[in-house]
Amino acid sequence: MLQKKEHPKEKPGLHPRNKHRTRYNFKELIRSSPALAPFVRLNDYEDESIDFANAEAVMLLNKALLKQYYGVDYWSIPPGYLCPPIPGRADYIHYIADLLGSYNNGVIPTGPQIKCLDIGVGANCIYPIIGNKEYGWSFVGSDIEPVAIQSAANIIETNARLKGKVELRLQPNSKDIFRGVIRTGEHFDLTICNPPFHASWEEAQAGTLRKLSNLKGKRITKATLNFGGKNKELWCEGGEEKFVQKMITQSKLMASSCFWFSTLIAKSSHLKSVYSALKKVEAVDVRTIPMNQGNKVSRIVAWTYVNR
C-alpha cells in the first residue's frame, strides 16, 4: 500500500465555476445515489474512488453526479455509447459562457432566449443538460445517429426539468453540419461541438484500448463497452481535423444565422489547418480558449462573422 498522499484541495485547471473542482464527495453521492455504493473503494492512496476502467462504476458515478449537480434524476445511455467525463464537458460550457459574457458588458447572458445549437448531441445529451442547468439556455441538439437522438429524447422526456428546453433534430446527411438542421430565419447565439475524434473504427478501438491500459496500468487488448466507440460517436472519415474544416467551411453559409460558432479541438496539431480554414472563410474574430482537465489539455476554437 502506498503512503497516504496529500491531494490538492482543488483541481486548479478546471474553470473557476466548474462544480467539480474539488474531489468527489462519495459519501454525499452515495446518499442520493445508493446504487453507487458497491463500486466505491479506497484507492492506493486511501482515498475513496471508483475503478475508472469499470464501465458500470463509471456509468453509476455519472448518474450520481448528474442527479446531484444537474437535477437529472433519470439518465441512461445504450450499451457501447459514450459515457462522458462530466467535469470536462462542464468546462466547455463555462468557458463559452464567458465568451458570450465578454460581448455583453461582462455579464453572462442567461435564460431560455439564449439559443445554443449542439452539433452531435450524442446519446448522452450532456451539453444541453449542463448548459440548461448552469445558465438556463435553450438547446437544439443535432445528430446523424437515430439511436443517439432516441436516447437523448428519452433523457429529456423522463426529466421534467429538461422538457421543452431541449429540441432534438436528426441530421439526415452525415456530410452536412448546419444545413438540414438550422431552419430558415432561425437564429442561434452559439453553436458548440465535440467532434468525432478518430478517422476510423480501428483507430477509435486502439484509442479505447490505450485509455483502458493507462487506467489499469497494464496492457489491455480487448475493450469492454465502457468508453463506447461501437457506433460513429468516436470516429468519422478524416477524423477531427476534416470534420472541423467541413464545419468551418459550412459555417460561412450560415454566417448570419449564428453569433458565435465553436468547437472543441482535442489535438493541438490540428490548429494550423483550423486557423487556415478560418482565414479562408474570413471570420472577423477567432478565439482559442485553452482548457486543462489535469490529465488532458484541449481547447475551444470559436469564430464569428459578426462585427461588434
Ligand X SMILES: C[S@@+](CC[C@H](N)C(=O)[O-])C[C@H]1O[C@@H](n2cnc3c(N)ncnc32)[C@H](O)[C@@H]1O
| List of residues contacting ligand X (CB under 6 A) | 82, 84, 89, 119-122, 124, 126-127, 142-145, 148, 171, 174, 176-177, 194, 196, 232-234, 236
Angle (CA) 140-145-151 rounded to 5° is: 70
Give the Cα separation of 257 and 162 in Å (integer): 25
**Which residue's CB is nearer to ligand X, number 123 or number 278?**
123
Work out the end-to-end distance of the chain between its first and last CA atoms, rounded to an integer number of angstroms: 58
**Which residue's CB is nearer to ligand X, number 48 or number 225?**
225
Other beta carbons less than 10 A from residue 195's beta carbon: 21
Beta bridge partners of 260: 190
- Please identify the residue of the shown chain whose CB is closest to the bound ligand X: 120
CB of 290 to ligand X, least distance (A): 18
**Which residue's CB is nearer to ligand X, number 145 or number 189?**
145
Exposed/middle/buried for residue 4 (C-beta within 10 Å: 0-12, 13-18, 19+): exposed
CB of 106 to ligand X, least distance (A): 28
- 3-state SS, residue 120: coil
CB of 231 to ligand X, least distance (A): 7
CB of 86 to ligand X, least distance (A): 10
Residues of the chain by 3-state class (helix, strand, coil), percent to 5: 40, 20, 45
Strands (E), 232-304: 258-265, 285-292, 297-304
**Which residue's CB is nearer to ligand X, number 85 or number 100?**
85
Residue indicated by cell numbers 445511455:
77
CB of 306 to ligand X, least distance (A): 23
**Which residue's CB is nearer to ligand X, number 80 or number 84?**
84
